[in-house]
Amino acid sequence: MQNLLEKEGVNIPKTGDVIEGKIIALKPSIIYLDLGNFKSGVILGSEIKKHPFEFRKIKLNDIITVKILSIDNEDGYVEVSLLKAGEEKAWQGLKEKMDKNEIIDALVTKANKGGLMIEVEGTEAFMPVSQLSSTHYPRVEGGDKTKILSELNKLVNQTLKVKIIDLNVREKKLIVSEKATEEKKLKIALEKYKIGDIVEGIITGIVDFGAFIKFEDLEGLIHISEMDWQIINNPNEIFNVGDKVKAQIIEIDKDRVSLSTRALKENPWTKVEDKYHVDQTVKGKVTKFNPFGAFVKIDKNIQGLTHISEFGTEKKMEETLEIGKEYDFKIISIKASEYRMALKPITE
C-alpha cells in the first residue's frame, strides 16, 4: 500500500509528523482513527489512562490533531499521540510569538537563586535574574544569595509581561525576559542622551559593586570605581538609597548606561606632583590589605600602595602593619597618569 501511494505521488507521513485524523471508534482502552489515504491510527490505552481529562470531551467523528509515534506497530496500525501533538502545537505557537517579538502575560510559579520559573501559555519557562526589569531586579547588598531568593519569592504568583528570547523544542528549553519588553521605551529614552551628558537622578539601590541611579525612564550604574578619586571599600560610604545625585554618562552599551560621579570632581592626581615627590617621607593610614600589598591613605583623595614584596609574605605584612593605624612611608614612585603611588614602609 505504501509503495502504491508513493507511486501515485501521495505524500506519506513519517514518524514525528503532526497530522489530522477522524475518530472512527472509541473504546475504554483504545481509540481508532481514520488517517485519510494513509493507514488507520490508534491512540493506546496507556495515554488515555494516564491523562483521562484530556480525552473526556472527545467523541465519535471528531477531527483531532495527533503526532505519529510509530508508522507500523505490532498490530499494523499507525501509533499516534494526542498529547504530543498538543505539545508540538504549543511549542510551534511559542516559536511564532518569539519570531514576532510578542509581549506575553506570564505567571511566576516559583523562585530559585538563579531566577524565576514562569508559566507561559501552559509551558514552563525560566527567567534568569539578569532578565528582570529594573523595577523587579533584586538589589541586594553584598550579593547575598539568600536575600536575593527572598526578594525573588515576592514575585511568585504575580503576572509579568515577558518576551521569549530563547527556545529549543528538542531540549524543551524556554527562556523569557521581562527586561526585553522595555527595549523600545529604553531605546527612545536613550536617544536623548550621549556620552558626556550630565544627568540628575535618585539612587534606587546599592550593591557591593556600585549604586543604581534612576533618571527619567532610564536606570544606570555608578560603579564603585567611578564614585570618587579615593578608593572606596563600600558604596554606602558615599551614597544612601534615595539620595539625589548628579553624574556624568561615561558609556552607553545597548540598554546599559554607565555613569560617574568621580568625573564631576577635580582630579587630585593632576596636581599630585606639586605636593609629593619621590624619596619624600609621608604619613599614611593603612586602609586595606590584599594579596599584592597594602593600600595606604596619604590624604583625603590620594592613596598609595606598599607592595607585598616589601614584606616578603602576606603574613609578615599583616604582622608589620595594622588597618586603621598611621605609619611613616617613603614614596618610591609616582605615576600620576595611572593614578598610582608606590610606597615603602619606614621601619626602625
> What pLDDT score was predicted for residue 179?
86
> What pLDDT score was predicted for residue 86?
63
Same fold flag, 192-264 and 268-345: yes
Please state whether 238 falls in left (phi above 0), alpha (psi between -120 and 50) or beta: alpha
What cell does 267 get? 582630579
Please state whether 16 falls in left (phi above 0), alpha (psi between -120 and 50) or beta: left
What Rg do the C-alpha atoms of the chain give, in angstroms?
A: 33
User: Is the distance from CB of 320 to CB of 307 less than 8 angstroms?
Assistant: no
Beta strands in 148-243 (DSSP E): 159-168, 173-177, 198-207, 210-215, 218-223
Phi, psi (deg, nearest 5) at residue 194: -145, 165
What cell does 195 get? 556620552
Q: Where are the domains of the chain?
A: 2-87, 101-180, 192-264, 268-345
Residues of the chain where predicted confidence (pLDDT) is lower than 70: 1-11, 53, 83, 85-86, 141-143, 348
User: Per-residue DSSP letters for 26-42?
Assistant: EETTEEEEE-TTS-EEE
Please state whether 41 falls in left (phi above 0), alpha (psi between -120 and 50) or beta: beta
Phi, psi (deg, nearest 5) at residue 21: -145, 155
Architecture per CATH, 192-264: Beta Barrel (2.40)
Distance of CA 257 to the CA centre of its chain: 16
- Side chain identity at residue 250, one-letter code: I
CA distances from residue 170 to 116, 124, 162, 193, 317 in whole angstroms, order as listed: 22, 14, 22, 43, 57
Distance of CA 69 to the CA centre of its chain: 37
Residue 125 CA to residue 117 CA, distance in Å, equals 6
pTM: 0.58
User: Is the distance from CB of 129 to CB of 140 less than 8 angstroms?
Assistant: no
Residue 151 CA to residue 133 CA, distance in Å, equals 14
Residue 70 neighbours by CB distance under 10 Å? 13
> What pLDDT score was predicted for residue 85?
66
Domain 2-87: top CATH class: mainly beta
Sequence-distant (≥ 6) Cβ neighbours of residue 76 within 8 angstroms: 39
User: Is the distance from CB of 105 to CB of 97 less than 8 angstroms?
Assistant: no
Residue 65 CA to residue 83 CA, distance in Å, equals 9
Query: Any bridge partners for residue 244, and if so which?
Result: 202
What's the residue count for the chain? 348
> What pLDDT score was predicted for residue 1?
46
Phi, psi (deg, nearest 5) at residue 82: -75, -40
> What pLDDT score was predicted for residue 176?
92
Domain 268-345: top CATH class: mainly beta
> What pLDDT score was predicted for residue 52?
73
Residue 296 neighbours by CB distance under 10 Å? 24
Domain 101-180: top CATH class: mainly beta
- The number of C-alpha atoms within 13 Å of 126 and in the hemisphere containing its C-beta is 13
